[in-house]
Structure formats: C-alpha cells, structure tokens
Amino acid sequence: MVARRIHTGLLVAGLTLVCSPAAGSDQDPSAETSYEALRATQEVFHDVVEKVVPFLVRIETVGGSQPTAPLPEDETEEEKPRKRRQHQFQDSLGSDFVVADGPTTGLVYSSDGYIITSSFNFVREPILISGVLPDGRRMAADLVARDQVRKIALLKVEAEGLPTPKWAGVDDVRVGQWAIALGLGLGEQEPSVSVGIISALNRMSGNAIQTDAKLSPANYGGPLCDSSGRIVGLCTPMAQRHGELAGAEMYDSGVGFALYRERIDDIVSVLKHGKSFYRGWLGISVDTRFMEGVIVANVAVPSPTHSADVKVGDRLVSANGSPLRHYGDLMRALYMLPAGEQVNLVIDRGGKEWQASVKLARSDELGSLPEVAEPFDPSLPVPKEEPPQP
Amino acid sequence: MPRLGAYILALAAWATVLSPAVRAGGFDHAIESAGIRTVKLYGLGAGLQAGYGSGIIVSEDGLVLTVFSLLIDARTIRATASDGTRYEAEVVHRDTERQLALLKLVQSRHPNQPDGTIEQANDAALRFPFFDLSGRPELRRGDWVIAAGNPFKVADGAEPVSIAHGVLSAKTRLDAKRRTKKFPYTGDVLVIDSITSNPGAPGSALVNLEGRLVGMIGRVVISELTHTHFNYAYPVDVLHEFFLEATGATPSKPEPSGRADEERPRPADLGLRLSKAGYRKVLPFVERVRRGSPAARAGIRPDDLILSINGKTVADVEACNRRLETLSPQEPVVLVIRRGRTIHSVRIEWEEE
C-alpha cells in the first residue's frame, strides 16, 4: 500500500514536470500559494464561517464602569501604612487596557441556553446583559458565574433547543493547521474573520492553544475554529501573570490564546452552580530584591501558609514540582491556579527540606501582614529552627 | 533621442503590466500588480504624525489618491514611483470629511537629486500604470487580500514597497477617534486582519488575489467599539465617489461650515425625556414620554431602559442623547428597550405629528 502510494506520488510529480517545465523542479515552493490553492483556502474559510455562525451570540452590556485603583484618597498619614497592609493582597486587573462600550461575542455551550464567553467582557460589572441569539432573538442574559483566572464566563438565557457546535478535542489539534477566529465585537450581524494557524499547544500551564490569528475585543469570547468548522478553543486574553485583563494589551499582535475544550468543560461544570473562580493567594510576601531563591519575607495572619506553619525566612524550593529559582518562577507556578486549588510546596528551613500542602485563598480571606520589626535579610544567618513534624 | 528613451521605458512598463496577466492571480501576481501602482510619499511631519506615507495611482496621467494628513500640507510633496523615479505631487483636492486627498504627479523641478539617477520625460509624456476605480471586484469575508505601501518608510527609491497579507475580516461602518477627537469619516470600511495601523501605511493599496484594487488603507484610528487600533480600508466605491468629485465629474458635497450649520435642520424629536441624576454615568431610563409624540405612538413608556438606537448600543444617558440628536425624520428609528425582564425591539415612525 505504501509502495503504491509512492508510485502515484512519483507519477503526479512527473506529470507536474511535464505540464510546467518552467518550474524546473518537482518541488515548486510556490505551489502552496498558487492561485488555485489560495482560492481553495478562501472557500474553506467561507465554509467555516457558514458552519459556525449558527452558534454565535452577540452580547451587549449596559452600565458598569472601568474599575480603577482601589486605594481610598481621604486616608490620613497615620492610616496609610495600615491601609496599605490591608491592600497587600488586592486583586489587580493586570493591564491598563480600557474596555470599550461595544458588543462582544459568546458561543452557545448547551442547547438549554448556556452561553460561554470571555470574562474580559464583564470586568466593568455591567448592570444589564442581553444576548442576541443566532436566530435573531434578543434576550436578557444572566451572568451565572465567571472564572477570573482562566477568564471565561457563563451566561444563561431562557431558551431551549439551541443548536450546539462540534468541538475538536486536545488530540485533534496540530501545530501548523489553520485556525480561524470569529467574533461579533464590531457590531455587525455577520462575524468578523481572522485567519492564522495554531502556533503552539499547551500554553498557559497547559490550559490554552496559541494562535497567530488576530485576537482582540472584536473576537474575545468567540470561537477559534479548525478548517472543518469544529471549535478548538474559546478566544480570551491571557498572559503569564495574574489579572483579568492581563494579555489584552497584546491584542492583534499575532500572539493570542484560546482555552481548550476539556478545560472549559471542567470549569463550566463548576460555574453552572453559580460558583465563580478567583485569584488564588498563598498569603506571603517575598522580598523581590533578592534574585536567587524565593525567601518568605512575611506571612499574613490568617492565611493558608500561616496555617501550614510557613515562617519568615523559609525558602520555597518548589511548587507542584516546579523548581522555584526566583520570584518569577513562583508567579508562573501559580497564575493559572484559582483560589481553592491545592499547591504542594517544598520548603527549606535551615538546610532541612519539608513539604506543605497549601490550599490557595481568595484575597478577602487573607488577614494583613504582621508588623515586622525589621525587614528580613537573607544574608544574615538563619535562626536554626526545626521544621514542623508532618 | 530622449523621446526614444521614454518610449522604451513606457514599453518596459507595459510589459510588466501585461506579463502577469498570463496567470489569473495569486500572491505574487497581486504583489506585482499593486507594487507598480503604488507610490511612496514624503512631505510634512510633526510630532507623532509621520512625514511620509503611501498613495495609489488612479489615472494614466498620474493622479494619486492618498489620505488627508499633515503630510500633504508640505510646500513640496515628493513622490517616488515603483521604478525609483522621483516626482513632485500637487494637491488637486482635499476632503476633510472623508479624510481623503487627490494629488497629481508632475515632473520634479529638481531632477538632479543626489541619488536620483533616472532621466525623466516631460509631463506630457508621463504615463503610469494605474488602478481602475470603476471596477467593483467581489470580496467576501475570509478572502485573501494584499496591502502594498510604505509603512515605516522601509522602502527607498526603486525598492519595492512593503507587502502584508491577510483576509477581509468584516465590512462595517467606521466609528473611531484619533486621540480624543472623533474621526470625521463614519462611512463604510473594509476591516482586515493584517496590521496596517502603522505610520506610513495610510494610503496603501489593498488588492484581492487577482491584483485588483478593493480598497485603500485609512488613517491610524482607535475604534470606539473595541478601544483598539483599527486596521481598515476605504472600499473602492467610496474612493471612486471621491475621485469623481475631486476631478469635477460630479458636484462635490459642500464642506461643512458655520453657515451650513445654521441651515442644518433642527434635530428630530422623538418626544423622550431621559432620567437625570447626579452620577457620572446614568442609565438611559425613560423618565417621561410626551403625549402624541412619535415615541408615545410607538408605545414607549416611562421606566423603559433604552439599550440601543438603530443598532448602536447606548451605554448611558449622554451617549443616548448624542445619538438621538443625529436622528433624521426621514428614516424610521428602531429602539431596543428593556422593560422588566423582557427585551423589545420598537420601530418608531415619524409621520402624523
């Protein structure tokens, strides 16, 4: 069978040679961009749009405003240090990107009216949300819950029998294949189209596909599709750091991300119960002046690390198996883990390593950082103290 | 003798135009076709405004379309054709409303540029390959497009212009700003998924796979809908309309002026009063509906919340009032309102009152 195929291949190559002697070689590098080949790809893109349009929902929001820095302005000089401590674990947006008034995109998730979209669209906490269904019906939509870490949101409209799209699983996606992003963010009935390829798999701690299709508020919340019209992921801004807007500043850059189907299913099964995901915190501060090692400079009380008996001066060796050489490693180990997730820490205290399992907390579950007489200095000898017995 | 030289040059130009016609299309064909019809422009720049740009040749005798910008205010606008020949460009017509300009290439008064080595023919003999604006090539969303121009002025002299490929993303109306000012052109645009929102790119040709002109890249703007730099082109029919006005083939629309403002009809009145409160952003709830007004006849009631007017979302009272002021009594208005938990689309007719 293999031999036969090679035979046919040679025959075709021979024919090409005969037909186009000007090419001079059986490996014409411009064959993929020949007029005929390009026309054929255009047809593929048209078909994808046609197949996926029936699952797109235009989301319009009313009210709400761009969140701003949370520090109160009327604080007195006395209050300042205390307030600052309270705000030590303030969730940030992660980007200066300003969300506009325009509509955004959602995708029908299930026939009973669940719509998935990017949580990007709700940073402004709009008062009212409405969805325009593929059949043109405009309906009030409820924000069921949202994941501020993996950045998807679940909406619900009162509808039955909605058509649902075909999805491609993780194993069906290959680097280099066409990736087509669709969105309704420009306010038109017809979706905007951006074409690229799958640039990488397993980005963002294994949560996302990377594409060079141009992703922006025009298609955040919309689907990334393969050439057969299957959905390979949900487009949403992402970056290797915390913050619900992190990554939005990279819009249209050719570096874009879409959340995998499998991850979406996991998250939606929780969101459906009205439970949102928030940034997960350890509740420690780390002195970022030291480039080598992640050394605990302070521990909030209460906090999950305090409960696990982590102390000032401890060195965090690894988190969930990833070695921590510096603060950046710690951030990268945690940025895709919401509050409630367990993190296995290996900690070094006075030369002895021990393990602690810490459940990440929401910022509002953390107490303030206690006053430290003087900033911890890792260059001084560490007081010998035995690690806690497991 | 120079006459013969010009003849040979013209023949050579024709050969370049004709040879790709053997094949019907493709990126290479489109690039060649667009490249020879695109010029590099140099003029006045200041601050963030680039003193260089791109333009497209739209007539055999060297009329060039580009965007309206500071560049064309220069005392001397210089243009370099694809063969490296330098010309000067005179402004034929400018349109601040559409932000377009028409230039005419003329023989340079300073032909002996240090690096300009090509002899020039006199104006009467100037012949250029050009884009035919009367064509209306079909273009669907997802179709390949090629943008040809001189972003960041990386191409000098006879060097071919920069090429970017992408697909047609969408056809929409432009709703954009430049810094804090509303961008005056609010007509149809082609949105593309190639990044053209760069200095020097405005005025670039946008062609399809067959190398036919489908649009021209517009000025760098920020979309009001997405708060992002917008990559768009004027469709060829808008360019053609401007071209016909600029060349006097059709009467041009009067430029807006103070006097024209007075003559403008008073804004149409639907008979709505919206909620007022001290907050920064107030949701556009209807406070009162004047009896017998178009809004009342259409069944709008107090406490209805206006979500959109003629398809445009209105986020607050201010946006709502702004949009209400632009309504024309010639066209029916469609309001989308929310009443309790339900959303209604209401069509308002102006007649009878």
Which chain B residues touch A128 with a CB distance below 8 Å? 283, 305, 307, 338
CB contact under 8 A, B308 and A39: no
CATH for A360? 2.30.42.10
The Cα–Cα gap between A257 and A280 comes to: 21
Judgement on whether residues A256 and A288 belong to the same structural domain of the protein: no
CATH number at residue A209: 2.40.10.10
Question: pLDDT tens, B197-247?
Answer: 999 999 999 999 999 999 999 999 999 999 999 999 999 999 999 999 999
Task: Please state, in angstroms and rounded to a whole number, the distance separating the CA atoms of residues B67 and B100.
Answer: 4
Establish if A187 belongs to a structural domain.
yes
Q: Give Cα separations from B9 to A180, A295, B16 (angstroms).
A: 45, 74, 11
Closest to A120 in 3D by CA, of A149, A157, A140: A149
The label of the residue with tokens 């609010």 reads B186
Residue A19 is assigned to a structural domain of this protein = no
What is the complex's ipTM, to 2 decimals?
Answer: 0.82
Q: How far apart are CA B17 and CA B50, in angstroms?
A: 31
Task: Find the helix or strand (DSSP H, E) in which A136 lies.
Answer: none
Return all residues near B316 (Cβ < 8 A) that are at least 6 apart. A63, B281, B282, B283, B284
What the block records as the tokens of B72 is 């064309």
**Minimal CA separation from B343 to chain A, in Å:** 6
Q: Is A31 domain-assigned?
A: no
Domains in chain A: how many in total?
3
Whether residue B318 contacts residue B325, with contact meaning beta carbons closer than 8 Å, is answered with no
Residues A128 and A97 in one domain: yes
Whether chain B has a CB inside 8 Å of the CB on A202: the answer is: no
Find residues 294-313 of chain A whose CB sits inside 8 Å of chain B: none
So what's the pLDDT on residue B122? 58
| pLDDT for position B273 | 83
Instruction: Compute φ and ψ for A104, nearest 5 degrees.
Output: -135, -175
Q: CA-to-CA distance for B293 and B273, rounded, in angstroms?
A: 11
Helix (H, G, I), strand (E, B) or coil at A255: coil
Burial track B212-234 (b if 16+ CB lie within 10 A, e otherwise): bbbbbbbbbbbbbbbbbbbbbbb
One-letter amino acid at A312 equals V
Does any domain span residue A186?
yes
The set of residues, in sequence order, having a beta carbon less than 8 Å from that of A306 and lying 6+ positions away, is A283, A299, A300, A367
DSSP secondary structure string for all residues of B178-243: ETTEEPS--SEEEEESS---STT-TT-EEE-TTS-EEEEE----EETTTSSB--EEEEHHHHHHHH
Half-sphere exposure of residue B186: CA atoms within 13 angstroms, side-chain side = 8
Q: State the best of A32, A34, A38, A212 to mutate against chain B, taking most chain B CBs within 10 Å.
A: A38
CB count, 10 Å around CB of A185? Answer: 27
- Together in a domain, A151 and A174: no
Place of tokens 């040749």: B57
Cβ–Cβ gap B338/A140 under 8 Å = yes
Cα angle, residue A178 at apex, residues A48 and A219 outer, rounded to 5°: 65
Instruction: Determine contact: A63 vs chain B, CB below 8 A.
Output: yes
CB–CB contact B26 A42 (8 Å) = no
Does residue A254 form part of some domain? yes
With CB atoms and an 8 Å threshold, state whether B280 touches A65: yes
Give the torsion sign (CA, A210, A216, A218, A221): positive
Q: Which of chain B's residues have a Cβ under 8 Å away from the Cβ of A49? A: 141-142
Tell me, yes or no, whether A243 and A309 share the same domain: no
Question: Between these two residues, B332 and B166, which has the higher pLDDT value?
Answer: B166
Question: What is the rounded distance in angstroms from the CA atom of residue B102 to the CA atom of residue B246?
Answer: 7
- Cβ <8 Å between B23 and A140: no
Check CB contact under 8 Å for B25 and A65: no
Cβ–Cβ gap B172/A218 under 8 Å: no
Longest C-alpha distance within chain A, in Å? 88
The helix/strand/coil state of B102 is strand
Write the residue in B169, B341, B345 that is nearest to A138 by C-beta: B345
**Across the interface, do A187 and B312 touch by the CB < 8 Å criterion?**
yes
So what's the pLDDT on residue B116? 47
CA atoms of A242 and B13, how far apart (whole Å) = 57
Closest residue of chain B to A193, computed from CA coordinates: B169
**B213 residue type, one letter:** L
Task: Please tell me whether residues A190 and A232 are part of one structural domain.
Answer: yes
- A12: contact with B, CB 8 A cutoff: no
Give me the mean pLDDT over the B117-144 stretch.
82
Taking the CA of residue B81 and the nearest CA in chain A, the distance in Å comes to: 27
Pairing relationship of beta strands A178-183 and A223-225 according to DSSP bridges: antiparallel
Distance from CA of A70 to the nearest CA of B (A): 18
A192 interfacial to chain B (CB closer than 8 Å) = yes
Q: Please list the residue range(s) of chain B that carry CATH number 2.30.42.10.
A: 272-348
| Mode of pairing for the β-strands spanning A223-225 and A231-235 | antiparallel
Picking from A102, A185, A252, the nearest residue to B195 by CB comes out as A252
A70 touches chain B (CB under 8 A): no
The sign of the torsion formed by the CA atoms of A328, A329, A335, A338 equals negative
Burial class (CB in 10 A: 0-12, 13-18, 19+), A224: buried
Query: Which is nearest to B108 in space by CA: B93, B132, B83, B86?
Result: B86
DSSP-derived pairing of the beta strands A342-349 and A315-319 = antiparallel
Note whether A245 and A293 are same-domain residues: no
User: A145 and A176 share a domain?
Assistant: no
Distance CA A248, CA A244 (A): 9
Q: With an 8 Å Cβ cutoff, are B141 and A193 in contact?
A: yes
pLDDT tens profile A72-117: 444 455 555 555 545 578 888 888 888 887 899 999 999 999 999 9
- C-alpha closest to that of A151 among A247, A21, A49, A12: A247
Per the CB < 8 A criterion, the answer to whether A176 and A200 are in contact is: no
In the stretch 242-301 of chain A, residues with CB closer than 8 A to chain B read: 251-252
**Cα separation, B238 vs B53, whole angstroms:** 20
Please list every residue in chain B whose beta carbon sits closer than 8 Å to the beta carbon of residue A63.
281, 283, 315-316
Structure tokens that stand for A342 in this block = 């367990």
Count, in order, helices (H) and strands (E) of chain A. 7, 18
The β-bridge partners of A117 are A106, A153
Confirm or reject contact between A125 and chain B (CB < 8 A): no
Residues A137-193: pLDDT tens digits? 889 999 999 999 999 999 999 999 999 999 998 899 999 999 999 999 998 889 999
**Cα nearest neighbour of B144 on chain A:** A42
Would residue A57 count as lying in a domain? yes
Mean pLDDT over B100-112 rounds to: 82
Whether residue A191 and residue B170 make contact (CB cut-off 8 A), yes or no, is yes
**Is residue A376 one of the residues assigned to a domain?**
no
Each of the 390 residues of chain A gets a pLDDT tens digit; together they read 444 444 444 444 443 434 444 444 456 767 777 899 999 999 999 999 999 999 999 999 887 777 765 444 444 555 555 555 455 788 888 888 888 878 999 999 999 999 999 999 898 888 889 999 988 888 999 999 999 999 999 999 999 999 999 999 889 999 999 999 999 999 888 999 999 999 999 999 999 999 999 999 999 999 999 999 999 999 999 999 889 899 999 999 999 999 999 999 999 999 999 999 999 999 999 877 777 889 999 999 999 999 999 999 899 999 999 999 998 899 999 999 999 999 999 999 989 999 999 999 999 999 988 887 665 665 665 556 677 765
- Within a domain: residue A253? yes
Answer with the residue of higher pLDDT: A388 or B64.
Answer: B64
Query: Rounded to the nearest 5°, which phi and psi values hold at A144?
Result: -70, -50
- Which DSSP category does A87 fall into? G
Q: Is the pLDDT of residue B134 over 60?
A: yes
Minimum-distance CB partner of A186 among B172, B308, B338? B172
Report the 10 Å Cβ neighbour count for A57: 27
Chain A residue nearest residue B229, CA to CA: A252
> B2-246 has which fold?
Thrombin, subunit H (2.40.10)
**Which of B166, B228, B281 comes nearest A65 by C-beta?**
B281
**Are residues A218 and B345, on separate chains, in Cβ contact within 8 Å?**
no
Measure in Å the smallest separation between the Cα of B10 and chain A Cα atoms.
Answer: 27
Residue B310's pLDDT is 85
Tokens 């056809």, residue located? B171
Nearest residue to A323 via CA among A296, A350, A294: A294
Interchain pair B193, A195: CB under 8 A: yes
Report d(CA A373, CA B65) in Å as an integer. Answer: 71
| CA Rg value for chain B | 24
Instruction: Kindly state the tokens that stand for B164.
Output: 């970017």
Whether residue B1 is predicted with pLDDT greater than 50 in this model: the reply is: no
| Confidence category of residue B253, pLDDT binned at 50, 70, 90 | low
Among A266, A297, A313, the domain boundary falls at A266
Cβ of B141 within 8 Å of Cβ of A192? The answer is yes
Is A35 close to B307, i.e. CB distance below 8 A?
Answer: no
CATH for B272-348 is 2.30.42.10
Range of the domain at A110: 53-65+79-157
